[in-house]
Structure 1
């Protein structure tokens, strides 16, 4: 069986997406100063990113917890993830900050993970018909 066709694949992936956004969002919103110098990224930028992730996590959790997943809701999540990856790329090539080597690795790594999650979400959505609980 193709893993993306498993009846719970997409729902579980969305729950993992929500949990990771909540964890990273809370860490960045509450303690950006702890990593700002290490990453070479402005604390205000990290705090703003964290504050953006918190309502996004709530929305992803809301969509994932419905008895039937909303296809438009999941596509919106995928689109938001794509915007995040684009923003991360723009941060590095646009000269908006001067990240350290560790900061570059952090931005690239999280953008890569978000891109993979978005692609898996799209694959999971395409592999399903109506999605029961």
Structure 2
């Protein structure tokens, strides 16, 4: 099992890794759009989603994976009204077939956080 170098991955705020790879399987923890250890986050939904994707790319890269390896995404949105914007941004990051399967739910998140995601990937050996 490999875990990422914590100096090059998005911050975690608990006793867990941002990504773990076992063989060719990769799992990420829930990621949000935080910029730093102070938990600064942009107030608007679109910026949070884009930053979350940037954090996902860093987490995946830290264990030898990319967005193209992602097979499943779980997305959590606070407001259902943000769904159309979420879909537009999501389509910018996942462009190649086959597209990952996806589960989207609406739920409350930490203060100021409007979006969270985690992903699972399979890396070619």
- Settle same-fold status: TM greater than 0.5: no
Bigger strand share: 2
TM-score by length of 1: 0.25
CA radius of gyration, larger in: 1
